[in-house]
Structure formats: structure tokens, C-alpha cells
Amino acid sequence: MKFDFTEEQKSMMEVGRDFAEKDILPTQEEDEKAHHFRKETFKKMAELGFFGCVIPEKYGGNETGHLCAALLTEEIARVSASWTLPFNMQMWGPAFTILNYGNEEQKEKYIPALVNGDVIGAFAITEPNSGSDVAGMGTTATETDDGYILNGQKMWISNAQTADMSLVYAYTDKAKKHKGISCFLVDMKNNPGIKTAAIETKLGLFCAPTGEIAFEDAKIPKSALLGQKGDGFKICMWQLNNTRLGCAARGVGIARGCHEHAIKYALERTQFGQPIAEFEMIQDQLALMYVEYEAARLLVLKAAYEKDQGNIGNTLSVSTAKYFAGEAAVNASGLAMKVFGSYGYSSEYPVERFFRDAKSLQTVEGTSNIQKVIIARAILSK
């Protein structure tokens, strides 16, 4: 067992760190206030190859692997959680899923464009009445002579209003229960049956768009079907087991950002004639943040490493990492706010943003409860 990073991995972390500090941080607060998704930042990330880590060179990727992608995600989340969403919306979600389940035509049409940022991606599972219970979805895809007709509503979809393409999960056969769900590659623009609206009532992740999608007799071609009819549920679970790694790495980055800010502040802020870092209760908080960050990071690295070794379906490791890192991020941001006192409660300092962003991790891509359900199921059936 080796705990060293390769020279290349170190270089990539450096690129991630520099990019976050020089290209994201300077406009972060402005964009946060304006709820602005800065297209240039997105394009630049794509150009550097950030969305090609797990994609073969043949489709425009760089084959640097899941571990590298997780490390980059951490570096970016340390500065801005919002800006790690594109890793999931481009790469771990649509591109990697199409790579595994798509036919050659679908791969060529979508993967290079998702990697180079020409196409903005999304994946649409959740609905107003169906979240954790994926099979409870109501969206349908009715087969016709020349394609399918989509009807239904998707909710809380990252990039809904900005996406050019989306994986859309819908029932082709309701009677078959979860075995009647199929997955479609849907071109989101120029379809009169597709309407989107932004959700502006979020608590955080303001630089990452979220919205809803309404399908009203939206016609899509036969070629939009990914895999076989009825594969949708299986594809969805497979996809989530990859995108969750991205969420977990985001949690690690948030936890790190929080503890770094807290350490710096604790050494600078003086009360009762000494830096607050001298108080044992503050030290306890800092130590706790560090321990959880470090543990979460090791879980993420392990899950990413397993995928790079070919074990893509490593649900137990991924859900463990996603659960722990999500909770660690929330704990770290809460503790950092305490260390910062009133300034922790102020949008003038970043920990307040970390706190709002971190909370999403207990919900997105399977709530913390759902991760525990998956973990328990896996360990009980061992």
C-alpha cells in the first residue's frame, strides 16, 4: 500500500489550486450575489481537461482517472463548491454514463462535446413527488413509430435551464415497476415540448444553476434511447454511484476550506489578550475539523482508487465516502462559523457560504439517510 501521489497527480492538484485561486476566487463573491454561472470559467475548466479525467483520449478525454478528478474537485471545492458541479454535470454524469451504456453514434455525438464544454450537460431523475424513491417517478416516454413522446415534470435539476443535453429517466412501461424505466439522451434546446424554469429559492450553490423541466408532448427520436428499454433504473443507480464520488470530493474540499479559514482566523483573532487559537475549546474545534477532513479524504481517495482499478460498481465505498464527507463538510462549516464568531454569521467572510453550500450535500444525489440505507444493505448481505 502506497500513500504517495505521483508527480503528475501533484502537478494536477497544483493546477486545480491555482485555477481556483486565480480564476474563481476573484469573482466568487460577485457571482454569488448575482447567482451567476460564469460561462468563461466553465469553458476554461473544460479547456484544461478537467471534464476529461475518466474519458478515453479517443473521445477527447485525458485518462487521468477518478482519483485525479476527485483531487481536482477537492481543490476547487476548497474555494467554491458551486464550481465543482460541472464535474458531475459534464463528466461523471452524462459523459461517463454514455461511455458505458451508449452506442458508438451516441458516444461520438455527446462525449467529446461534453468534455470540451461545447455542450452543457445535466441528468434528470428527481420530480416534485419523487426524490429518494426513484421508481416513484411519473414521467413517461410513450413509443411512437418514429420515436418517443415525453410527458412529465423534473424538479431540482442542476443545469436544467442552461443544459444543451440531459440524461432523462422516464417510464416506458409503468406496469413493470422499476424495470419499466428507461434512460434517454435528450437535446434540450429547440424542442417546443420542453420548457425549463430556474429555481431561485435555493439556500446556496448560487453559481451553479438549478431548475425544473416540464415535458409536454416532447418528441425525441428513437436514437435517444440509452442502452435497452427497461435499463433506466440500473443505469441510474450506476450513474449515481459515480456522481456521488464527485459529491463526496466536494465535501472534502468544503471541509478543508473551512478548517484552513478557521486556523488562519484563530491565529489572528485575539480576545482576552491572546489569539483565540490558544483557547483549548477552540483547539478542540480545530482538531475535530481536521480529523473529519482527513478521514473523509481517505474514504474518497479509496473509492476513487477502486474505480481506477476497474471496480466501478463499488457502491459500499462510494456511499460510505459520500455519507461521511457530506456530514464532515456540514460539521466543519458549523464549527468554522463558531470559530469566526459574528463574522462567521456574515456574508463578508466565506464560512457562511461554505455552510450554505455544505448543507446541500446531505440531500443531493441520495440523502444521508439513503446512503446509510445503501451501506446497511451492503454490509448485511456480505
Partner 1 sequence: MNIVVCVKRVPDTETKIKIGGEGTKIDPAGVEFIISPFDEFAVEEAIRIKEKLGKGEITILSLGPADAQTIMRKAYAMGADKGTHLNDATECQDTLAEAQALAAALKGMQFDLLLFGKQAVDYDNGAVGVQVARLLNIPVVSRIIKLDVADGKATVERESDMGKEVVEVKLPAAFTAEKGLNEPRYPKLMDIMKAKKKPLEEKPAQLEAPKLTIVKMDYPPARPPGKIVGQGEESVPALVNLLKNEAKAL
Ligand X SMILES: Cc1cc2nc3c(=O)[nH]c(=O)nc-3n(C[C@H](O)[C@H](O)[C@H](O)COP(=O)(O)OP(=O)(O)OC[C@H]3O[C@@H](n4cnc5c(N)ncnc54)[C@H](O)[C@@H]3O)c2cc1C
CB of 56 to partner 1, least distance (A): 12
- Choices 61-69, 119-127, 249-257, 321-329 (CB under 6 A): range interacting with ligand X: 119-127
Could you give the maximum distance between any two Cα atoms of the chain, in Å? Answer: 79
Q: Which of 360, 361, 371, 375 binds ligand X (CB under 6 A)?
A: 360
The C-alpha cell 416532447 sits at 218
Q: Which of 156, 206, 238, 340 binds ligand X (CB under 6 A)?
A: 156
Q: Which of 188, 209, 365, 371 binds ligand X (CB under 6 A)?
A: 365
Which of partner 1, ligand X, none binds 247 (CB below 5-8 Å, type-dependent)?
none
Q: Is the dihedral of CA 263, 266, 269, 274 positive or negative?
A: negative
Which of ligand X, partner 1, none binds 156 (CB below 5-8 Å, type-dependent)?
ligand X
Residue 186, H or E segment:
strand 181-187
Which of ligand X, partner 1, none binds 158 (CB below 5-8 Å, type-dependent)?
ligand X
Q: Which of 4, 7, 40, 104 binds partner 1 (CB under 8 A)?
A: 7
By the 8 A CB rule, do 174 and 147 touch? no
The yes or no reply on residue 86 touching partner 1 (CB under 8 A) is no
List phi, psi (to 5°) of 127.
-135, 170
Q: Is the dihedral of CA 359, 207, 26, 89 positive or negative?
A: positive
Q: Are strands 123-124 and 165-171 parallel, antiparallel or unpaired?
A: parallel
Instruction: Name the amino acid, one letter, at 122.
Output: A
- Choices 96-104, 120-128, 142-150, 246-254 (CB under 6 A): range interacting with ligand X: 120-128
Residue 174 C-alpha from the chain's centroid? 29
Which of ligand X, partner 1, none binds 319 (CB below 5-8 Å, type-dependent)?
none
Q: What share of the chain is helix, strand, coil (3-state, %, to 5)?
A: 60, 15, 25
x-marked contacts with partner 1 along 18-57 as a string, rule CB under 8 A: xx---------------------------xxxx-xx---x
Q: What is the number of other CB atoms lying within 10 angstroms of the CB of residue 26?
A: 10
- Choices 20-28, 106-114, 139-147, 151-159 (CB under 6 A): range interacting with ligand X: 151-159
Selecting among 75, 327, 352, 365, the annotated active-site residue is 365
Give the Cα-Cα-Cα angle 120, 122, 126 (nearest 5 degrees).
160
The yes or no reply on residue 271 touching ligand X (CB under 6 A) is no
Which of partner 1, ligand X, none binds 63 (CB below 5-8 Å, type-dependent)?
partner 1
* Residue nearest ligand X, CB atom distance: 131
Q: Which of 21, 29, 63, 118 binds partner 1 (CB under 8 A)?
A: 63
Instruction: Please give the Cα distance from 93 to 78 (Å, whole number).
Output: 22
The yes or no reply on residue 123 touching ligand X (CB under 6 A) is yes
**Is residue 216 flagged as an active site residue?**
no
Q: What is the DSSP string of 265-312?
A: HHHH-EETTEEGGGSHHHHHHHHHHHHHHHHHHHHHHHHHHHHHTT-T
3-state secondary structure of 160: coil
Which residues are tagged catalytic?
A: 365
Q: Using CB under 8 A as the criterion, which residues of the chain lie in contact with partner 1 when the complex forms?
A: 7-8, 11-12, 15, 18-19, 47-50, 52-53, 57, 62-64, 68
Q: Using CB under 6 A as the criterion, which residues of the chain lie in contact with ligand X when the complex forms?
A: 123-126, 131-132, 156-158, 202, 205, 210, 360, 363-367, 369-370, 373
